[in-house]
Amino acid sequence: MASTRPAQSKPKGHHFIPRFLLNGFASRSDSKERYVWEFKKNGRIFESNTRNVAKQRYFHGNPTGSPLEYDIADDETSFAELVQRLLAGSASRNDLRAVPELVAHLWIRTKNIRDGFAENLRDMNDLVEEIFKQCERDDSARKALDVALGAAIENELRAPQTEAFRGLGPVQRLHMRMGMRRLIARGRLLPEVLAYMQSLRPIIDVVVIESGRKSQLSSLSKELATSTRVEQLSTLHWAVVPARGSRLVLGDAVVIARTERRSEYVNLTAADDDFPLAAVVLPLTPESALVGSRGVITSLNASEINEASAALSRDFFIASQRTTAEERLLQVLGTRTDLFTKEQIRGMM
């Protein structure tokens, strides 16, 4: 349903990292304006107004057709107040119960996660093609895959509103169904499917980017914080923890995590039933971070957190200062951005 709120009341530029979080890393302030140092993947370093950082035109969709940007803005007010109470040490028990929702929300709304979805869809497409080509060379594997493909197509043909028929008239749909069923009856579906996949090559980037966008908007529209992720985060003990040794930066992944089977920090996506969360870190200011953990953590090694934040960032990180320490982080910026490894994708498939 289209939003009933006036579109002109909302700017076209949408922040995928909220300003209340960006402002916590201000290098300086001027009246009501806040500025941060922005370190980009292309090597550019400059001071920028937080109004213009982590922002993209209609990132949450056009407000004339979707209320999502309004809903996110409404939640930002309460989340900003929650962060202020956490930093002031005045958070209540109810506040602590709301922390997992805050963390999940900040993680799922980023451009980092949207681009990660798209990248993994591209990897998945490549892997499917690779598996299909391997099966084509093995007669028994090809026959088994032909049966599976035929069953999948039949399933799709039975759906009343199948995506493949969108925009077709009744006669065209009938011809499409008959043609697909002839292919199934003839067997040897695999070459047809491979030819179709290869025909998509020129537009695959457009397709996966749009799929990543739709996946994220769908997740945000259903629940501003996914219930499964909130449930995982609720198993941790949460506290604001001081950083030692340096000043924290904020990466464009925002949230970083460690699982019980890995010592290095990863994207929160990597946590699942087989890899339960051990610790989650959300930098709030250069001096402190919100930390969820199994045990009690009294301080953080800022250099370790900063290196992980930069490595898991795709496009940029921000900081309250520009020193050689921050400049060195450009060397690792974007070096570990996979939401899932190729081995994990193969395992899922």
Rounded Cα distance between 235 and 277, Å, is 9
At 167, which amino acid appears?
A: G
User: Regarding predicted confidence, which is higher, 235 or 348?
Assistant: 235
Torsion sign over Cα 223, 227, 230, 232: negative
Structure token pair of residue 336: 């570990």
**Euclidean distance between CA atoms 333 and 251, whole angstroms:** 9
Distance of CA 135 to the CA centre of its chain: 32
Phi first, then psi: what are they for 120, rounded to 5°?
-70, -35
Tell me the two tokens of residue 19: 């300003």
Owner of token pair 């930098």: 283
Q: What is the pLDDT of residues 241-295, one digit of tens each?
A: 999 999 999 999 999 999 987 789 999 988 877 788 999 999 999 999 999 999 8
**In DSSP terms, which residues pair with 317 in a beta bridge?**
39, 251
The better pLDDT of the pair 182, 55 is held by: 55
Q: What is the pLDDT of residue 222?
A: 63
Q: How far apart are the first and last CA of the chain?
A: 35
Q: In this predicted structure, what is the pLDDT of residue 224? A: 47
Q: Rounded distance, CA 282 to CA 285, Å? A: 9
- Calculate Rg over the CA atoms of the chain: 23
User: Can you read off the two tokens belonging to residue 297?
Assistant: 């953590």
pLDDT (tens digit per residue) in 147-201: 888 888 888 777 766 666 666 777 777 777 787 777 777 777 888 778 877 777 7
Q: What percent of the chain has pLDDT over 70?
A: 91
pLDDT value at 117 more than 60 = yes
Give 341's pLDDT tier (boundaries 50, 70, 90): low
Kindly report the average pLDDT of the chain as a whole number: 86
